[in-house]
């Protein structure tokens, strides 16, 4: 895992991550994206989708990112 600093994100880095994730979701995700991220504790599986997972009828279980869509 070269290039990984081995420390948690700063507040500023987290804000940047959220803004970049919002842009990816706006411009790169047409239906879904599945990612596997290797970490020091093993892989993390991430699914980004324009629909709720099967069986979920509400999005109340999700944290809304504190960023606004770009106009």
Q: What is the mean pLDDT of each run of 10 residues along the chain (71 residues)?
A: 71 92 93 95 95 91 81 61
Distance, in Å, from the CA atom of 44 to the CA atom of 33, rounded to the nearest integer, reads: 14
The full set of domain ranges for the chain reads 11-49
- Report residue 18 as tokens: 């959220």
- Quick one: CA torsion of 15, 18, 21, 23, rounded to 10 degrees? -70
Q: Is the pTM of this model over 0.85?
A: no
Residues 6+ apart with CB under 8 A from 19: 67
């Amino acid at each position: 895992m070269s290039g990984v600093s081995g420390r948690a994100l700063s507040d500023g880095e987290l804000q940047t991550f959220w803004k970049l994730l919002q842009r990816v979701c706006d411009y790169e995700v047409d239906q879904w994206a599945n990612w596997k991220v290797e970490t020091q504790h093993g892989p993390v599986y991430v699914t980004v989708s324009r629909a709720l997972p099967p069986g979920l009828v509400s999005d109340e279980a999700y944290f809304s990112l504190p960023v606004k869509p770009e106009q």
